[in-house]
């Protein structure tokens, strides 16, 4: 997984990163944004525009935010509350619009 959005994004969700992403791989949950690891091209365009510094490469995630690495993957591979199937890799967040739910981990924060 190239880039991960961690805890500073929870309840902030500034969408500057979504405007910079050339492949539209940043999806909107209810309280946080998530980067689709199958769609991300590892370009890093999102990282410098995040005003709360929530985005980093998976190998540079702060120790206290390590759970967000796996949780970011779960957003796309597991069935989220209120949905009938995993989101998967739908080919762009503008096609799906806001997902409107989060993983149980983020919902519980």
Domains, the chain, ordered by start: 3-107 (3.30.70.20)
Supply the pLDDT for residue 13: 85
| Count of CB atoms situated within 10 Å of the CB of 15 | 14
Task: For residue range 7-35, list pLDDT tens digits in order.
Answer: 999 999 899 999 999 999 999 999 999 99
Reply yes or no on whether the pLDDT at 85 is more than 90. Answer: yes
Q: Region 66-74: what's the mean pLDDT?
A: 95
Record the pTM: 0.94
Supply the pLDDT for residue 94: 92
Q: What percent of the chain has pLDDT over 70?
A: 99
The H or E element spanning position 26 is strand 26-28
The pLDDT confidence band at residue 49, using thresholds 50, 70 and 90, is very high
Supply the pLDDT for residue 2: 85
The pLDDT confidence band at residue 1, using thresholds 50, 70 and 90, is low
Residues 76 and 47: their CA atoms lie apart, in Å, by: 20
């Amino acid at each position: 997984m190239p880039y991960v959005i961690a805890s500073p994004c929870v309840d902030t969700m500034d969408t500057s990163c979504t405007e910079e992403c050339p492949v539209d791989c940043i999806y909107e949950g209810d309280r946080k944004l998530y980067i689709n690891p199958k769609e991300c091209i590892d370009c890093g365009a999102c990282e410098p525009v995040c005003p709360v510094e929530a985005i980093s490469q998976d190998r540079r995630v702060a120790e206290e935010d390590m759970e967000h690495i796996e949780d970011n993957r779960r957003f796309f591979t597991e069935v989220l509350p209120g949905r009938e199937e995993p989101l998967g890799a739908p080919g762009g967040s503008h096609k799906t619009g806001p997902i409107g739910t989060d993983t149980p981990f983020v919902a519980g924060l």
